[in-house]
Structure formats: C-alpha cells, structure tokens
Structure 1
Amino acid sequence: MADASEGDDAAVADDAAEADDATESAGSAEAVKAADVDPEDAPISGEALLVQEGEIAGDYLEQLLDILDYDGDIDLDVEGSRAIVAIVGADDLDPLVGARGVTLDALQELTRLTVAQQTGVRTRLMLDVGGYRAGRRTELSALAASSVSRVIDTGEMLRMTPMNAFERKIVHDVVTATDGVRSESEGEEPDRRVVILPDR
C-alpha cells in the first residue's frame, strides 16, 4: 500500500511539474508575442488619445473648410476628459453655427463619427465655431442662475425653453451647485427642456 501511495504522489508531482512547464511555455510564448508588437501599433489611451482625436478632427475640418471655401483657423486643446476643437479667425462663421446651433451640432456629430472611424473608440470631442459655445455657456449660466433664484423665492417649479444636450448640461450644472433646488429633463428632442424644481 505504501508503494502505491508513493507512486500516486509521484504521479501527482509529475502532473504538477508538467502543468508548470506548460504554463511557463505559454507565458514565454505570450512574452515573445508581446515583444514582437510594434509600439506604434499598440493602442493609445488617456491624454495621448485625446490629442490624437483633436488632430484627426482638425484635419477633417480643414478639408471641409477648403471644400466650402471658408477661411478659418483650427485650435486644438484638451480639457478634462475630452478633446476641444474650435474653428476661429474667420469673419462670418454664422452659417456653420445655424439657428440655435443646429448646424454646429450636426457638424460636431460628423466630426465625432470621422474620429471614431479612425480610432475605433467612441469620442466625446467638443466642437466650437466662432466662439458660439463659449458665449452660449456664459449666457446660459446667467439665465440658469436667475431661474434658480426665482424657484427658490417662489417655491414653484420652472420649465425652461427647449435646449440641446450641451445647453441642458450647463443648466443642470448650475442647479447642482445650488442648495435648495434640483433639475430634470423632460420631453423629446428637439423640444427637450430642463425643469427646475424646489428640493423638498
């Protein structure tokens, strides 16, 4: 019996050794495979990816401006977790913004699709034209602040005019930073709007 037990123990030890050898062999193969990868072909992430997104967007927009025969410079930046691209420097960029920024939103979506096709990653890139979004942010922040004050004073809810997602977020951010009120969105695009309510 003792001999059989010793034989079993030896077999288990041999199996374990073979498993270790197989693991080491697989690990070595993976290491060799990883070593064969060209660093330039490795996926990028973080700020490097955002910079790449901005560069792709800039190239796309420059070609578009040439086709449309528009003058304008492309500014690239990174803010937080998104690439920021702006068309600036031209005399009349209003047609690229459109009524209530509708054309700008469409242009931003086309730019995002172009970037995503080349990077294989969904992008949150933000496009501005002629400072429209920057100006709109200042305007809406002031409007949201006065609306919040009104809700606090009256204790009654307030429905704002329809806004796009970019504009609604500005209002939500102002409300979130203020005690005593809360906000939610209601309706369907393009008539979706922010509702500010007393926080009770």
Structure 2
Amino acid sequence: MRELVPAVRALWQGDYAHDGEIWQFPTSTSVPKPIQRPTPPMWIAARDPASHDFAVAQGCNVMVTPLMKGDEEVVDLKRKFDTAVANHPEVPRPDLMVLRHTHVHSPDDPEGWRPAAEAINRYYRTFDAWFGNKAAPVNGFLPPSPESKFEDRPEFRPESLHRTAMIGTPAEVVERLRAYEELGVDEYSFWIDNSMSHEEKRASLELFIKEVVPAFQ
C-alpha cells in the first residue's frame, strides 16, 4: 500500500514506471485521466497508528472499522486519527469514516434485532471458515464455522452483537450516529453484507433512508 498509493497518483498524471521494493512495472498510465485535480480523493482503511499516520501524511481520507467491538473502539480509532492529524499540520485534515454492520428494524418489533445479530454472527463464522482455508468451497460458497468454535468468544454472541453492531430502531440508530457526529466522525458507511436475505436488507436500508438520513440533513 505504501508503494501503490503514490504510484497510482503518478499513473493518474501520465506516463510512469515503477521500480519499488515490492512492485515493479514498466512505463504505464491510466486512461482516461481523472477529472479531479490534482487527484481524485483516496480512502485508506486504517486500524494501527502507523496506517493512520501514513494515510494522513499522504492526504488520504481514513475509514475505520470497529468490527465486533463497541463504541469505545470508535473512540480509540478516532484518537489514533487525531494523533496522526496533529503530527501532520502541513496536511489539510482528511475526512474520517466509520464502517459498521448496520440493520434498522421497525420499533413495532422489539425482537427485530435478533435476526440481524444472528446473521452477523453467521457472517463472522463464514469469514472464519474462509480465513481458515481448510475446506474446499462448493459452487463458490463455504458453510460457516460451527458455533461451538466460538463458545469462548462472547463478543460474537447475538446479544453482544446487538449492542456493538449498528442494530436498532430508527431512533436508536439516530442516537448512536449523533454520538459519532459529536465525536468528529465525518461520514458513516452502511455495511449491508451480513448474510441476511435481499428482502431483509432492502427493508432495513429503506428504513435507514426514510427515517435515519433525514435527521442529518
């Protein structure tokens, strides 16, 4: 990444050959050229302080992902971002985005959180199966790792994911996003990939658009 970010920007400008430690390629360019000047905005996903520092130093926007952790992780990631910004006063402050698994359910269904939390649990268990690389996919898919493998990981239980993932009624989601806004988060990314059906995802997204977004306009 540290080689490719400046290399991509050079390719946007015109002919460029790269002879780096990790990547090498002959004279190349991008066609068509981007309209934005000097370059289009670039986003870097960052967790550790060094990644935050590199992103800010390069003038890139930063996306952070708390995963299955609570909002205390958002606060810590914001602290790392702020430290990087303070260390590079010569760079205009980039934007900060938070990406979270998100599901909005009707306030008329007090148990509406449970299918989403169970689906996100299944998402992480499926990711674990892919990451383990111990089984061959069938028609492009792998079954999730068994729940027994996560018995000693309380952060993956549906009740915990209900608290940590962005799951709730429109009013509950607005309240949490207000806290992000007050913390200094510039953008929020709705992570819709959670193993639920298309219809369930669509209903959640519609609620977000109709009842959450207007609170921030």
TM above 0.5: no
Q: Which has the higher helix share?
A: 1
TM-score (normalizing by structure 2):
0.22
Q: Relative contact order (alpha carbons < 8 A, sep ≥ 6): 1 or 2 greater? A: 2
| Structure possessing the higher radius of gyration over alpha carbons | 1
TM-score (normalizing by structure 1):
0.24
